[in-house]
Amino acid sequence: METWGPSTDVQDPALGTTIMAVEFDGGVVMGADSRTSTGTYVANRVSDKITSVGDKIFVCRSGSAADTQAVVDIIRLYLQMHSLEINKEPEVPTAANLLNQVCYSNKDRLMAGMICAGYDERNGGKVFSVPLGGGVFEHPFVIGGSGSGYIYGFCDSNFRKGMSKQECQQFVKNAVSLAMWRDGSSGGVIRLVTITKDGVEKEMVSGEKLPHLAQGWCP
């Protein structure tokens, strides 16, 4: 029987994952776990799901690993050509809309849910969600992937506007760590990318340094 939509074969390498991005005054913080699964088998424990498409624009990837890598490569090429045309760095909304065009135009062939975030001189730090099937939604913070369902309540109750860079970094670490604790498809280490006008700062939080917010009741 022929089915509509992308393949659901459990053997396809997939980023059953937790991704998120938060904006603050002066930039954005992006975070993700590092587990890539092939069915119930962990194909990669330390994959990098936060991929650059510009000097200060990054994309968090969830869904099919192959699909999201191909989409990001296309967006990077488009943005490079656009940058040459306008003779300056592209803006974050431009990247998000390009990402949406590719995902929406191929919505029956792709399994890709993305977060596009970054910093540009005109807009500052911006965060956009491009979910499965396409669409561009701007929010002060976005979560996605299979682990996101476990942390909506935590994020809604702990997020507040006006947080500092350090507070946003800790907020992302706590949220992704909680998702990794509950979601079997999320795990490994936490990768953090902080983007400001001064550049890009990357951090990896290894397993023994993850926030253990359940330590008060769980051994």
- Residues annotated as catalytic (active site), given as ranges: 17
Using the structure block, give the residue that is written with the tokens 């965060």.
127
Ramachandran bin of 193, using left for φ above 0, alpha for ψ from -120 to 50, beta for the remaining angles:
beta
Contact 49, 34 (CB under 8 A): yes
Contact 150, 12 (CB under 8 A): no
Q: Which tokens is 22 given?
A: 């938060």
Contact 32, 121 (CB under 8 A): no
